Structure 1
Amino acid sequence: MKEIFEIPQNTILEDDFVLLRPLQESDVENLLEIAINEPETWKYSLVPAHGKENLTNYIQHAVKSRENKTEFPFIVFDKKSGKYAGSTRFYDIQLPFKTLQLGYTWYGKDFRGTGLNKHCKFLLLQFAFETLGMERVEFRADNNNERSIAAMKSIGCKVEGIFRSHMPVFLGEEKRRDSIILSILREEWFNEVKENLKNKL
């Protein structure tokens, strides 16, 4: 049986504009300013990280999930400004099935609409398809999160459908959300998505 490739714990992805490195518990200090001053960042997040305590718990859970090899969270460093911009991750990693999800993505307000997200997504998708050998990368969002949906479509994601009343808006709350499901397939990456996204960088 072919050995399944695992994501190296020291994985770093970067280009001239952005660097993604493994999220660490000590990164609370690097992201604290956004966590304290920009609560709107987590309006559509299932696990909000507003405030120091929530951010600490958020990062600790993410790091533990990486150790358990179910998720791989990154911190995002914007080379242009020399500041940490936010976080993103691979999750629901199913290496035997060659699928994973890409999400838990958030950036401080100064980094939205700057092109940073496209650079991050290019590096993450290239790694997923060309290094990990994934066949499918899935994306999910609250169906009301128009900004996030537009961003996913702009990088080449195709809408698959809606999961109705899919999950709570926030963990522990009764109010529920519909989730939109999008994806990029391996052949789509190589046939069109990679080149189209590269031209937008």
Structure 2
Amino acid sequence: MSINSSFPQNIILEDDFVLLRPLQEFDVDNLLEIAINEPETWQYSLVPAHGKENLTKYIQHAVKSRENKTEFPFIVFDKKSGKYAGSTRFYDIQLPFKTLQLGYTWYGKDFRGTGLNKHCKFLLLQFAFETLGMERVEFRADNNNERSIAAMKSIGCQVEGVLRNHMPTFESEVRRDSIILSILRNEWFDSVKENLKSKL
């Protein structure tokens, strides 16, 4: 199901710490340092972006998915350092069902554990629930990715379960178990929003 005409196509989300804007093909240059020097960033990624060639393909695919109205990728700019930190996106956007997934999130090592992720997630969740009117935002991760799972739990995600032997990794002979987490609309307004805001 594609994004219909009610989905804004030039989304910019920002606060005093971070700015998220639509990812563009020229952003290869803005993210290349991370892609070349930090291959561990994609240890659990289904679509790795290490090295210039992989990063270029990754961004081209993301931009095409936005043009096809199936996903909405962002580049993340850290205002504190004045540097681009990574990328994230909405995907599997099901407007008739009022659901979407939030993922493909990665940051360079200098931006992990700085609070940047919480600022990004607050802006993205606020937009999903309060502008788009979503009823459910889903998150998925490799069940071995302890750092990512801890980060999702810390923003208020509830674990729903694990899809066993769910999908291949980029090491094609290895399959991963995928953990499923989510935040529901009532949870956002009842507690998650204020709890997350208090951590910013």
TM range (shorter): over 0.9
Is the CA contact (8 Å cut-off) linking 1:91 and 1:100 kept in structure 2? yes
Partner residue, 1:28: 28
Distance 1:43 1:184 in 2: 25
Deviations 1:106-137, CA, capped at 9 Å, x for gaps: 00000000000000000000000000000000
User: Alpha-carbon deviation of 1:7?
Assistant: 2.4
Distance 1:92 1:114 in 2: 28
Partner residue, 1:163: 163
User: Alpha-carbon deviation of 1:169?
Assistant: 1.7
Deviations 1:152-196, CA, capped at 9 Å, x for gaps: 0000000000000000122x7021000000000000000000000
**Structure 2 gap ranges (5+):** none
User: Alpha-carbon deviation of 1:5?
Assistant: 5.9
Task: In structure 2, give the amino acid aligned to 1:60.
Answer: Q
**Structure 1 gap ranges (5+):** none
Partner residue, 1:190: 189
Deviations 1:46-101, CA, capped at 9 Å, x for gaps: 00000000000000000000011110000000000000000000000001100000
1:178 aligns with 2:177: yes
Distance 2:176 2:6 in 1: 33
Partner residue, 2:151: 151
Task: In structure 1, give the amino acid aligned to 2:144.
Answer: N
Report SS of the residue matched to 2:137: strand
Distance 2:174 2:79 in 1: 39
Distance 1:149 1:40 in 2: 17
User: Alpha-carbon deviation of 1:8?
Assistant: 1.7
User: Alpha-carbon deviation of 1:6?
Assistant: 2.8
% identical equivalent positions: 89
Is the CA contact (8 Å cut-off) linking 1:5 and 1:132 kept in structure 2? no
Report SS of the residue matched to 1:8: coil
Partner residue, 2:83: 83
Partner residue, 2:46: 46
Distance 1:7 1:49 in 2: 27
Report SS of the residue matched to 1:47: coil
Is the CA contact (8 Å cut-off) linking 1:100 and 1:136 kept in structure 2? yes
